[in-house]
Structure 1
Amino acid sequence: MRSAKRIVYILIILLISSVSYAQDDVLDEIVDVSYEGISMEALLDSMYLKYAFNFSYDPSALPVDSVLNVNYSQHSLYSILQEVFKNYDLSFKSVGRQVIISHQKREVALSNYITLRGRVVSADNGQSIPLVNIAVMGESLGTSTNMDGEFVFLIPQHLAGAALHMSSIGYSSYNMAVPQRDTTMLVLLRSQSVQLKEIKVRFIRPREVIKRMVENRARNYFTSPMLLTAFFRESIRQDGKYIEVSEAVLDIYKSSYLKTSDREEARLVKGRKKVEDEDVFLARLKLAGGPALFSTIDVAKHLNFISEEEDDNYFYIHKGKGIVRDRVVYRVGFKPIVELDDIYYEGELCVDVETFALISADFSMTRKTLRKSDQYLIRKNAKRIKSVPVFTRYQVDYRPYGEKWILNSVRGELIIKMQDKRNKTRSEYQASADLLITNAQQGKDQRIRYSEAYKINYVLADQIVGYDPMFWKDYNVIHPEEELIKIFKSTPVEINLVPQPKKTKP
């Protein structure tokens, strides 16, 4: 039985102090730099270590291995960057102590895109439908609606007229041609329950469904490396109010789906955050390792709580049929047979009837695991704070890409109740993270180097600084809900959204 320990959960660390800097433009700061035979990447790293400049750039777009001789005394950071990158069409922008290096061409990139925006609602009652999958058929591009049913989708001009597909569990799919110009629309999805009753599916034992799913992975998923582009958002709410939101664009290197034990590698391309300090009277939460750990949540690849063996410790249950992405699926429930001193989950898998591809997974910690989850979830806590996790939920889904399926999105949620032992103050913290794959390409010879990789002990909120209102203008992202938009217009306990069991003696 393969261990389920790699599935998402949250670690908590209390952080009390943080370093602050003056808010002057860091590009105007005077610095001294002198090196012989240093790579461009090492030069930027050295300035980070010496002056705490946080550089954001796409390593694949810069000659980071180029060797330089630099000798600047009492020069501004901006003048040094201009000289070092004088042969490249780049722009430099600062937000706090973050320096964003990007191609000038990106500034006008939107002219090459069609902007499709709108809202998806139920045709039955007019309520918004969250997490609707939106994709251009046959292409790697995709996005999804937010919790208010809203979306913004940037589509390259050359795909005008291509088939656009919208789908959500329990609803009939919606298909249309990509319009020729920017368009705002209201999409109505109808309930699919009547059609579902008419579908006849041959019964197969749940364990046989799981066995065939594992056996058909080479047919259903990529067996060559892929480089994925992803949008990642993690947020923390205290008693219903957002107190911190961080967002990032990531590159994720994923090896063959047949290499079950291979770990994904993630690289931060750019990011932003917003912190609301008002009324944070109990503790400051931060999510640790989010992008690095969250990018590894791929049930079809790592086969968490899935085994072909009859002696597996998980029991599989037939829960009927369903329709996901216009595909008829077996709904297979699962739960542990015996719970020992380990992490266990229960939930539901949706497996395609024809191809036996895993299309979605929805699961949470079992009640027994949740009761003892503080030993897994809380890495470090303040002595005066009692923290009790009370809820977890994780959702993973896949979308078609040619004749295969690729990871589409991952969502994780955690609720923790905290109490200050001294004054009996109570508060409820809700942490969530969303990973959306927005593009994919062949990943041969594109492995992410260790020096570039996002580490599991990193805190995203500490890796990025400040807010730029035009930050995502040419990226596909999950459109923020109204509350998040207000936060971006207007430190603590640290949370990590992938479970890392504490080491125990054998």
Structure 2
Amino acid sequence: MKKLHPLKLYVSTVISVFLLFFSLNAQTDFVEYTGTVIDGQTNKTLEAASLNINGTNIGTISNSEGEFILKVPLSNSDSKVVVSLLGYNTYVVPLSELASGNTTIKLYAAITKLSAVSISAFKDAKGLVRKVFDDKNKNFQNESVFMTAFYRETIKRRSRNVSLTEAVVNILKEPNGSSSRDAIQLGKARKSTDYKRLDTVSVKLQGGPFSTIYLDVMKYPEYIFTEESINAYQFNFDAPTTVNNKDVYVVNFKPRKNDLKVNYNGKLFIDVETLALVSANYALDLSDIKKSKNLLVRKKPSDIEVYPLEALYKVDYKAKDNTWYYSYSNLSLKFKVNKKRELFNKVYTLSSEMAVTDWEVNKDDKRIKNKDKLRPTVIITDAISGFSDPNFWGEYNLIEPDKSIESAINKIKKNIEKQEQREKENTVNGRP
């Protein structure tokens, strides 16, 4: 039987919904570059565009509004930035051209000229997908790697933010061919949760960064395509596309008969030259309401029912020296909570994303100490406390917050300022 992603909901009294699912030496002197990535023809902002410093592993991605912040060590200030996105021509720009701040970077859709001969190299799309997973140890990371990544999770009730958690994490990424699971260490982190807006429902993500790392289907194929489950899907070729100026096969997949406990629909993007997975976008099949009711629930009170309304997943990889590495993943879950004897149901959206901002091969076989390891069942909002000033992240790269998150952060800052002012007044007036 195919396994569900380790994303499970805990529902407790104030419902608690929990979804299952080393630092690299930071530079002390850096320059910060900001801007927006847009489509050069439509002017539409482009989400999840990758920005990497040429010749290094330092990078970031654009947010849902195309905006980015890229922090670069002074030693790399003469470098160039490689900007790439699936379906677009790669753009290379000197850092000096971004120095003015709030630069607009235009990407143009790529015209793919992949011949029918190239596609016909495989009898069917299913054969290509099997080849991708059979060759994963050849194409993907086969050594231990230390990664620094930025992690963010947000919870909204309807359209209002009720919880925000951000963290820099250190990941010991084990080889894809190894049976060892990846280890994660919490670095710098901050959170804010408005429990008043959560009302009688408290939503928390169990697993935190593990919720995104387990979307690495090349390391954890058992969560989507097992030898057994792959036969339960039908695959077909879609129009090819391009990433980093390289041709990419596009393969659609969907369940044949929906007879698995968990079914997905989605697309796989496969590099034509290496047959490595470049990206995967997929969604949980929620067409059968009876089957999906409480599907993501691990534990809940008897008077609660949880209905998933949407479950979207994405993972991206990057290549260096003909080897592919995990780069970015996100999930977005929307669900409705019904409680008996309550007139109105509650709708929540939970988003979680992680972007690798730097990495290095673990040549000395260093390990993360057991006492420093996050547990895969950790509730990261319970593991951290407090929010802080605008310079909290210092030299660490992060995903620029979108306007709704920025608004939430500004409200948090104002509340902190008010609290500090009250404390100052109490001190002056001699009150405890």
Could you state the TM-score of these two structures normalised by the residue count of structure 1?
0.72
Alignment of structure 1 residues 4-83 onto 2, 5 Å: 4-5=2-3, 7=5, 9-14=7-12, 16=14
Match of 1:427 in 2: 346
Q: Deviations over 1:315-341 (max 9, x none)?
A: 222223111232211111222334445
Displacement after TM superposition at 1:414 (Å) = 0.5
Q: Measure, in 2, the Cα distance between the counterparts of 1:158 and 1:60.
A: 16
Q: Which of residues 110, 116, 122 is equivalent to 2:33?
A: 116
Does the 8 Å contact 1:282/1:420 carry over to 2?
no
Q: Deviations over 1:458-496 (max 9, x none)?
A: 211110001012321221010111221221222xxxxxx
Q: Deviations over 1:165-187 (max 9, x none)?
A: 11122322221123298441111
Letter paired with 1:263:
R
Q: Deviations over 1:227-282 (max 9, x none)?
A: 111111111000111100101111111221222x4321111112100123454334
Q: Which of residues 106, 115, 118 is equivalent to 1:200?
A: 115
Displacement after TM superposition at 1:138 (Å) = 3.2
Is 1:486 the counterpart of 2:417? The answer is no
Taking only the aligned residue pairs, the percentage that are identical comes to 24
Displacement after TM superposition at 1:14 (Å) = 2.7
Match of 2:168 in 1: 249
Q: Measure, in 2, the Cα distance between the counterparts of 1:60 and 1:228.
A: 7
SS of aligned partner of 1:438: strand
Match of 2:95 in 1: 178
Does the 8 Å contact 1:135/1:164 carry over to 2?
yes
- The alpha-carbon distance between structure 1 residues 275 and 216, as it changes in their structure 2 partners (threshold 3 A), is same
SS of aligned partner of 2:10: coil
Does the 8 Å contact 1:133/1:143 carry over to 2?
yes
Match of 1:237 in 2: 156
Does the 8 Å contact 1:266/1:295 carry over to 2?
no
Letter paired with 1:190:
Y
Q: Measure, in 1, the Cα distance between the counterparts of 2:149 and 2:183.
A: 12
Q: Which of residues 37, 50, 54 is equivalent to 1:137?
A: 54
Q: Measure, in 2, the Cα distance between the counterparts of 1:341 and 1:298.
A: 21
Could you state the TM-score of these two structures normalised by the residue count of structure 2?
0.84
Q: Which runs of 5+ in 2 are unaligned?
A: 17-21, 412-432
Regions of 4+ moved over 6 Å: 58-61, 308-311
Displacement after TM superposition at 1:115 (Å) = 1.2
Displacement after TM superposition at 1:189 (Å) = 1.7
- The alpha-carbon distance between structure 1 residues 321 and 124, as it changes in their structure 2 partners (threshold 3 A), is same
Which of 435-444 and 373-382 deviates more? Answer: 373-382
Displacement after TM superposition at 1:378 (Å) = 1.3
Q: Measure, in 2, the Cα distance between the counterparts of 1:284 and 1:263.
A: 30
Q: Measure, in 2, the Cα distance between the counterparts of 1:159 and 1:388.
A: 49
SS of aligned partner of 1:270: strand
Match of 2:318 in 1: 399
Alignment of structure 1 residues 86-485 onto 2, 5 Å: 112-179=29-96, 182-184=99-101, 185-192=103-110, 195-196=111-112, 198-201=113-116, 202-203=118-119, 204=122, 205-259=124-178, 261-304=179-222, 305-306=224-225, 312-340=231-259, 342-367=261-286, 371-443=290-362, 444-469=364-389, 470-485=391-406
How many residues of Structure 1 are paired with residues of Structure 2 in the alignment?
398
SS of aligned partner of 1:208: helix
Q: Measure, in 1, the Cα distance between the counterparts of 2:127 and 2:7.
A: 29
Does the 8 Å contact 2:35/2:68 carry over to 1?
yes
Q: Measure, in 2, the Cα distance between the counterparts of 1:395 and 1:293.
A: 12
Q: Measure, in 2, the Cα distance between the counterparts of 1:170 and 1:251.
A: 30
Q: Measure, in 1, the Cα distance between the counterparts of 2:84 and 2:23.
A: 34
- The alpha-carbon distance between structure 1 residues 407 and 15, as it changes in their structure 2 partners (threshold 3 A), is farther
Q: For the aligned residues, what is the CA RMSD?
A: 2.7
SS of aligned partner of 1:480: coil
Q: Measure, in 2, the Cα distance between the counterparts of 1:476 and 1:137.
A: 16
Q: Measure, in 2, the Cα distance between the counterparts of 1:356 and 1:17.
A: 45
